[in-house]
């Protein structure tokens, strides 16, 4: 066993800057070599619709899809229920209830305020008409992502929710994915994956409807396709690889810390797992525990590659410096394992989701607690939020002035317009008050 399984590095400005630079290179924006291929797929689907979608599905998924079988049937969903363990169905239903309960608290009402001077101002809040969720296929299936993407849209009142997910070579969709979609209330499910599915939802084809927003995770091709289609359609984010940062002092249990770090390292080789602590003893103990756990876990090879490239234990001179570094890294998931985690949390400015205390481990948020697990990555927690109900709502401003109200301010508005050189703007006001 290697004594220092996870590298332990002294935290200073140089090591912090080097780490930030390395982490940012994992962003989908750093993979320009794939953009040309993605743009060609989007162009073909946009111009040729179902024909291009069918060709790409055959090429990448080895499955022959036509307009007649691209949409999942109720019979296929019934078959999926027969293949999923009843206990798991019940767990997904419990998780869905928690997610709905949390997101219902995010709802806002339209408002309108009439003033005595003849001015009426307000805001009309309404859901988008149709949302689309992308769900990865392949070796791994993530029913939890189905729930997290669909249920906020459902709570928002989106009347039509569709899902696209790649089929297997046999034309089947993962049963757990189908059951989760049914529990969440997806209206239509289409057998399409990759950049071609994103393009189909962004621009529409003969079979797949055009949506207003696309959410959901995917590989680099999916991420780049969402980025390329942004503007034609809204998206949640261009997500990077998963990441966790644990902020801990000497009171933390090294076994818990190591287990939590590895819970994210197992996602993929580019996942990031970082511990920042002011305790050298904890740092060394966590490294040893991580080595012990990794030897027992099924995704050991992925974990070890992830830790070798993006796993760090940063040894800070004090907790204040540790907190400063955590704020600069702005991790997707931040666990706080200190003597008083709630007090430490008040100093945190940037994180996608914060987990407080030794029994609030990251997988709790992934699967069950209720807050959304679709979170900002690659430092974007500095300015982005988790997926939420607002992502599926649009706000329309309401303005009404009486003649008397406008007469009191019309000269001010005319002056403003004239100073910007927009005489037609000024005239639009002026014509209402001709002598």
Q: Which of 289, 333, 335, 373 is catalytic?
A: 333
What CA–CA distance (Å, rounded) separates 62 from 87? Answer: 33
What CA–CA distance (Å, rounded) separates 127 from 310? Answer: 39
What CA–CA distance (Å, rounded) separates 195 from 36? Answer: 12
Annotated catalytic, 404? no
Q: What length is written for the chain?
A: 435
Annotated catalytic, 55? no
Residue 217 tokens, joined? 């995770």
Please classify residue 358 by burial: count the beta carbons closer than 10 Å to its beta carbon, then call 0-12 exposed, 13-18 middle and 19+ buried: middle
What CA–CA distance (Å, rounded) separates 227 from 229? Answer: 6
Q: Which residue has the tokens 């040894």?
A: 315
What CA–CA distance (Å, rounded) separates 151 from 161? Answer: 10
- Which residue(s) pair with 334 in the sheet? 245, 354
What CA–CA distance (Å, rounded) separates 67 from 424? Answer: 51
Short-list 158, 178, 143, CA closest to 103: 158
Q: Give the H or E element holding residue 171.
A: none
Residue 251 tokens, joined? 């009171």
Contacts of 130 (CB under 8 A, 6+ apart): 158, 159, 160, 161, 162, 209, 210, 211, 212
What is the β-pairing status of strands 111-114 and 119-127? antiparallel
Q: Which residue has the tokens 């993006």?
A: 310
Q: Which of 243, 304, 332, 414 is catalytic?
A: 332
Phi, psi of 373 (to 5 degrees): -95, 5
Short-list 339, 352, 348, 342, CA closest to 320: 348
- Using CA atoms, how far residue 132 sits from 52, 165, 213, 218, 381, in Å, is 19, 11, 6, 14, 24
Distance from the Cα of residue 73 to its chain's centroid: 28
Phi, psi of 188 (to 5 degrees): -140, 140
Q: Which residues are catalytic?
A: 332-333
């Amino acid at each position: 066993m290697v004594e220092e399984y996870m590298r332990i590095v002294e935290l200073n400005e140089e090591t912090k800057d080097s780490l930030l630079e390395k982490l940012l290179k994992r962003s989908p924006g750093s993979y320009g070599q794939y953009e040309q291929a993605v743009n060609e797929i989007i162009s073909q689907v946009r111009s040729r619709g179902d024909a291009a979608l069918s060709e790409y599905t055959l090429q990448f998924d080895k499955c022959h899809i036509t307009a007649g079988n691209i949409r999942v049937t109720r019979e296929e969903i019934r078959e999926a229920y027969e293949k999923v363990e009843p206990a798991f169905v019940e767990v997904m239903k419990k998780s869905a209830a928690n997610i709905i309960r949390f997101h219902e608290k995010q709802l806002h009402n339209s408002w309108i305020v009439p003033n005595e001077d003849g001015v009426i101002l307000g805001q009309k809040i309404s859901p988008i008409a149709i949302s689309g969720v992308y769900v990865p296929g392949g070796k791994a299936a993530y029913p939890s992502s189905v729930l997290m993407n669909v249920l906020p849209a459902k709570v928002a009142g989106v009347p039509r929710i569709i899902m696209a997910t790649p089929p297997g070579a046999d034309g089947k969709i993962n049963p757990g994915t189908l059951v989760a979609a049914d529990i969440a209330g997806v209206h239509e499910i289409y057998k399409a994956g990759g950049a071609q599915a994103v393009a189909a939802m962004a621009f529409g084809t003969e079979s797949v409807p055009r949506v207003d927003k696309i959410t959901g995770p995917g590989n680099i091709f999916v991420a780049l396709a969402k980025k390329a289609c942004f503007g034609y359609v809204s998206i949640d984010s261009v997500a990077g690889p998963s990441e966790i940062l644990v902020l801990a002092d000497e009171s933390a249990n090294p076994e818990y810390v190591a287990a939590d770090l590895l819970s994210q390292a197992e996602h993929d080789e580019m996942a990031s797992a970082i511990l920042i602590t002011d305790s050298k003893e904890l740092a060394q103990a966590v490294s040893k525990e991580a080595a012990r756990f990794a030897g027992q876990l099924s995704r050991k090879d992925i974990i070890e590659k992830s830790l070798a490239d993006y796993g760090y234990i940063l040894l800070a001179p004090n907790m204040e410096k540790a907190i400063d570094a955590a704020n600069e890294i702005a991790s997707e998931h931040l666990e706080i394992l200190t003597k008083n985690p709630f007090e430490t949390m008040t100093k945190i400015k940037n994180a996608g989701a914060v987990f407080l205390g030794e029994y609030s481990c990251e997988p709790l948020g992934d699967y069950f607690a209720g807050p959304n697990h679709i979170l900002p990555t690659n430092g974007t927690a500095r300015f982005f939020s988790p997926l939420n109900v607002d992502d599926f709502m649009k706000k329309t401003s309401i303005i009404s002035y009486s003649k008397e109200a406008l007469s009191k301010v019309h000269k001010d508005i005319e002056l403003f317009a004239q100073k910007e050189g927009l005489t037609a703007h000024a005239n639009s006001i002026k014509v209402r008050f001709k002598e």
